[in-house]
Structure 1
């Protein structure tokens, strides 16, 4: 499947965002990186078209977003909905988790990711 064209600045922005991850993003990345979660290959701060997603598993076309409290704001929530619709129309499945869930319940977060990747029924 061909890549969706990227705006020229997205690659540079994604690279700089990798250096400024939140505590929750770092915690989840530690679970996802190097195929640690059931062999799934995730990339962090991954550009997809006009967006940069927190984590993506291109093989499964799965996106994982880790949201802070600002995502509870109505205008940000509207932007998130538009972003989700675009990514889903492009064939991606999108999962969203709150920072607090990642920090305090990482096992459950990982279980949801495994199920969404179609690997349910397998022990973590």
Structure 2
């Protein structure tokens, strides 16, 4: 089960109300379920809040502005990504400027990352074991 801290829920709620232009543009497209994938916006996991998440594929999407290139942010982002990886999530980082330059390419990249990630639940194999009694009429 995925859990989050109370502080993460509060941050997620506040962030859903705001949003910078690249995140707003991405969300406008992700709401259309590209590739058939469902996405969540400002999704809390543990003490972190992902910009976007595809829970079915355990993929977190972060839209990074220029602040992520300065100071200790690269190290903090790496520690954050490592913790999310331990929780079973892969993190895709997209520079905000890439979203502004070519939104369609960013969406294609997200869908491709979802396609590359194994689904959380697999469909039963054809010819697998028969259903248990009571499951078929």
Cα distance, 1:50 vs structure 2: 0.9
Q: Which residue of 2 aligns with 1:61?
A: 58
Q: Which residue of 1 aligns with 2:7?
A: 9
Cα distance, 1:112 vs structure 2: 1.2
TM alignment of 1:9-28, pairs within 5 A: 9-28=7-26
Between the aligned partners of 2:31 and 2:48, the Cα distance in structure 1 is 21
Gaps of 5+ in 1: 120-124
Between the aligned partners of 2:69 and 2:54, the Cα distance in structure 1 is 25
User: Which whole-Å deviations, capped at 9, do the CAs of 1:44-97 have from their partners, x for residues lacking one?
Assistant: 010011100100010110111001110011301110000011111211111101
Between the aligned partners of 1:67 and 1:46, the Cα distance in structure 2 is 16
Residue 54 of structure 1 aligns to a residue whose secondary structure is: strand
TM alignment of 1:61-100, pairs within 5 A: 61-100=58-97
Gaps of 5+ in 2: 117-137
- Runs of 4 or more above 6 Å deviation: none
RMSD over aligned Cα atoms:
1.2
1:31 maps onto 2:50 in alignment: no
Cα distance, 1:34 vs structure 2: 4.2
1:115 maps onto 2:109 in alignment: no
Residue 57 of structure 2 aligns to a residue whose secondary structure is: coil
Q: Report the TM-score when normalising by structure 2.
A: 0.80
> How many residues are treated as equivalent by the alignment?
116
Structure number, greater radius of gyration: 2
